[in-house]
Structure 1
């Protein structure tokens, strides 16, 4: 579809190539009505789209990788029950995103919806604000995944070499190598669907191997009371409730990237139907795999204190070692986890590059004239991919200054993305949920309830996830996420006043208000 010539006019129909299907023509025509040309080929099937979306959250990997942030905040109880609650919240978030994606399928996702739905006077800034917060959240998501992988690799080396002393620069070097290695997979567009499917299969195979091997090899198993009822607070917080709340960052992280499929709207046929399928399938598969994985692992746990204070600094690796009582076996299982995580990072790179590429089309970032380009030979927005991965590499250097940088990255990933989700939801309420053209996926009153849960949970996370995960607070374990917010807002406002308030065109300018709204001025 890359040879389609679509003018930015709602009335112009795209010319069909000989091999283009009627569905592809219809998708391109809808995109033209939004004011955009079909620059990328629609190579992704619904299965490969689910592969991208699931591999990005990769819930059972996420639980393993972020266990260091949550296991001391309630032990097994935090994950067993926290996952149920977070999955419910994520279902509401996914429903809210699916309704909007079905009504307005566009690679811009949240910032496009905000531009369409916000009051006309504030639409440009609301869209710009949303785009920046979404992109910042995506960048921190990539950084947190890369850092968790680096910690896993260093942990394996430590397990095999007990005399090795882990230093921050070791982790940073491995972080950069992993980030670059995964960068390469997004440099060729035609192979991405195969990579997405392959990483999905690798994740599921690794999941079943570990799910079976760990409890089967464990010499003893914990009681049901220990797994489901024994609360362990090792955070230093006097309140168990507070410890539980700050520990929810662990299960929340695995569902932080639910918007990923929305940014593939211009690379999948019938996005108004397939994107909601991918989003909700991610939540369903994510909860099922992560919850049963946690149950299996925790029944095989021998010593929680050793897990929390592991010399490897990788709790899940310590759990594997306790269960198998064999270093080589534990390293093999951790390797499966690392390979799965690399699939997650590859998917994150795809997500962040598509997000900033679409944003750059509307001049939302400095250097938009280059970042918005698509490499026709490789069929990828290569410049946006290069820029995003470079920023992720720079963020990795923060670990040199703070050993709790991972916690702040995880928190920023969660909250910044939630803000980008709630902005178009609030704008939708301003317009009126029944005053827009509904897509095939629309749940009416249930959708409204999902919106409310999403908004309330966003406010809760903004406040509660800003607290430190452990007490007493020192410069080394401080939660620096508030500083992250400050930096993002500073960059956003500086760019807005220096450039974007003149250059950022906003979607409504390019297509005329009312293309997607039945009654644009109704409340």
Structure 2
């Protein structure tokens, strides 16, 4: 069971054993007290506000580039219906997931986020396994985020080149090298001090919002097709481009929506750098999900009502459906201008993904999740006070992921599927544990759902359980299914996850015990540690021994 530890403020759900308290609480700020009560010392500067935390989260979600990049998996499966009632239906469930996550963030505002929540909610017996699965699933989301966004950004840049020079056809090597270049420059920016990152992402969020609104205005105002708008029967109708029934094709199109609407967890991972984190973090999560739901629906409806030929944009020589759609309805100069705005937004989005991924990597390395690599990855750069090593480690893994590009379109598509499938597994696993095993004993933070907590959590869990197999469906089946048309998500995501689970039972369970306490703790008389097999009776001695035993996993 999770325990409640009183910091000088709202009670928090912590890995500290009942009765144990961090030393010198009175000398810490309110945010530092809350973090100390969770078992961690303050290592970052708290230079993110509620707005700048939201700015990173909104930038990571990146509505304009996300919708443009994932048209393959929305319109490409179910046609315009994916953009209209398909969006409405899916975001209802997405908002339930976001609010359930926000409740956890208020109770446990740490960089570890969902991983930490899974550990303390599952208790000392099952907590390490729950944290291990949640952590690795969440890290896979984070580490594939930047390369998938970079790949989309590179595709749009090369599409502009093709629009200007119709004889130019990009090669896989050009796409790969441009993506790597984009990721390297984003990594440099993500290695900056916290205040610089906050300011950069604040500007990036404003640019994202401005470009989104400009695009929403331009599409209906500048379209040259006649009539400007399709009928409602067309815009809300299903055009099934799969071999599955219509209903299944619409559910498959949720891949585009859930991938787009998965950036709100970034606020959770920045909570150790945010002021008043127990309130600001959950508010940022909900603000990101709500704003994304509304603005994303407006843009998607415009696309559904203005697109002329769905099949044509996927058969275009440009190789990028968003670019093909724009050139289909707008004059070429305006289409290129909108595409350039999308590229700028995609770049800031990828940089936000880098920041979020580095914080996740740091938090997991702090608890030795990465084995022999953990000491290097948990170091905070003494000049920038940011986890620079974690930034570049994720970049290296991301570049290796981009090698999937040479396996064909189906292979590279797997990094988008992972972004949705792994994300929502990580999002709801601690929610599932809270509902099934903790129940009414869960101690919420200052931001909570009250009586709607359990119903909201149940809806979230059911949604993910239903969508897990559907995200692994190929678009075609039977005689039409070939290696090129196969959905390789189950391999690219499933094989590594099977490996890490086997690793846990074979070896990692011996040394991985979940979140590690890295502060000095005053133990209660019931929890005093032992020295050389002899129980320590003197509380003062227990305090001094706390430094030697600071990595002890307190039983919850």
**What TM-score does the superposition give when structure 1 sets the normalisation length?**
0.91
- How far apart, CA to CA, are the structure 1 residues paired with 2:244 and 2:440? 47
* 1:204-260 CA-partner distances (Å, limit 9, x unpaired): 11112211122211123123325533321223x152222222222111211123321
Q: Structure 1: any 5+ residue segments left out of the alignment?
A: 1-7, 17-23
Greater CA drift, 501-510 or 408-417: 501-510
Contact 2:235 2:304 in 1 (8 A): no
In structure 2, C-alpha distance between the alignment counterparts of 1:183 and 1:150, rounded to whole Å: 16
Match among 329, 336, 343 for residue 334 of structure 2? 329
Distance 1:229 1:490, change over 3 A: closer
* Structure 2 equivalent of residue 21 of structure 1: none
Partner of 2:500: 492
8 A contact 1:130–1:419 mirrored in 2 = yes
What is the CA–CA distance in structure 2 between the aligned matches of 1:498 and 1:77, rounded to whole Å?
47
Alignment correspondent of 1:432: 438
Structure 1 residues 222-231 or 186-195, which shifts more? Answer: 222-231
Task: Establish whether residue 12 from structure 1 lines up as the match of residue 5 from structure 2.
Answer: no
The change in CA–CA distance for 1:230 and 1:381 in structure 2 (over 3 A counts) is same
Query: Residue 153 and residue 404 in structure 1: after superposition, are their counterparts in 2 closer, same or farther (change >3 A)?
Result: farther
Deviations 1:437-467 (A, max 9, x none): 2211111331111111111111112111111
Matched residue pairs, number? 501
Name the CA distance, whole Å, in 2 between partners of 1:150 and 1:401. Answer: 18
1:383 aligns to 2:394 (yes or no): no
CA 1:245–1:104: 2 relative to 1, 3 Å: same
Residues 447 and 377 of structure 1, relative CA distance in 2, 3 Å threshold: same
Mapping of residues 66-465 of structure 1, within 5 Å:
66-189=70-193, 190-219=195-224, 220=226, 221-235=228-242, 237-326=243-332, 328-366=333-371, 367-465=373-471
Deviation string, structure 1 residues 340-365 (Cα, Å, up to 9, x no partner): 01111111111111001011111111
SS of corresponding position for 1:44: coil
Task: Measure the CA separation in 2 of the matches of 1:300 and 1:79.
Answer: 12
1:183·1:346 contact (CA, 8 Å) conserved in 2? Answer: yes
In 2: Cα distance, 1:238 partner to 1:371 partner: 45
Q: CA deviation at 1:61?
A: 2.4
For residue 488 of structure 2, what is the aligned residue in structure 1? 480
Moved more, 503-512 or 46-55: 503-512
Q: Counterpart of 2:66?
A: 62
Tell me, in whole angstroms, the C-alpha distance in 2 between the residues paired with 1:156 and 1:322: 14
- Secondary structure in 2 matching 1:75: helix
CA distance in 1, matches of 2:430, 2:517: 18
- Tell me which moved more, 25-34 or 158-167: 158-167
Distance 1:110 1:140 in 2: 18
Between the aligned partners of 1:148 and 1:85, the Cα distance in structure 2 is: 26
Deviation string for 1:67-98 (max 9, x for gaps)? Answer: 02221322211111121122111110011101
Q: Distance in 2 between matches of 1:15 and 1:355?
A: 29
Q: SS where residue 46 of structure 2 aligns?
A: coil
Alpha carbons of structure 1 residues 199 and 169: separation in structure 2 relative to 1, 3 Å = same
Paired position in structure 1 for 2:5:
none
Partner of 2:54: 50
Which blocks of at least 5 consecutive residues in structure 2 are unaligned? 1-15, 528-554
Compared CA separation, residues 494 and 289, structure 1 to 2 (3 A) = same
Higher mean C-alpha displacement, 238-247 vs 196-205: 238-247
User: Partners of 1:229 and 1:418 in 2: how far apart?
Assistant: 27
CA contact (8 A) 1:73 1:247 kept: yes
What is the RMSD computed on CA atoms of the aligned residues? 2.3
Instruction: Give the distance between the partners of 2:77 and 2:501, measured in 1 at CA.
Output: 36
User: Which stretch shifts more, 278-287 or 492-501?
Assistant: 492-501
- Larger deviation, residues 223-232 vs 407-416: 223-232
Is 1:92–1:453's contact at 8 Å kept on the other side of the alignment?
A: yes
The separation in 2 between residues aligned to 1:85 and 1:374, in whole angstroms, is 42
Q: Output the CA distance in 2 between the equivalents of 1:140 and 1:11.
A: 37
Please state whether the residue corresponding to 1:356 is helix, strand or coil.
Answer: helix
- Give, in whole Å, the separation in 1 of the partners of 2:347 and 2:499: 30
Once residues 227 and 445 of structure 1 are traced to their aligned partners in structure 2, the CA distance between those partners, rounded to angstroms, is 41
Alpha-carbon distance change, 232 to 315 in structure 1, aligned in 2, over 3 angstroms: same
- Contact kept, 8 Å, 1:147 with 1:406, in 2: the verdict is no
Shift of 1:426: 2.4
Deviation at 1:134, TM superposition (A): 0.9
Partner SS, residue 493 of structure 2: helix
Query: Residues of 2 paired with 1:379 and 1:302: CA distance?
Result: 51
> Match of 2:32?
28
Distance 1:182 1:301 in 2: 33
Larger radius of gyration: 2
Does the 8 Å CA contact 1:117/1:430 hold for their aligned counterparts?
Answer: no
Cα distance in 2 between the residues matched to 1:358 and 1:203: 28
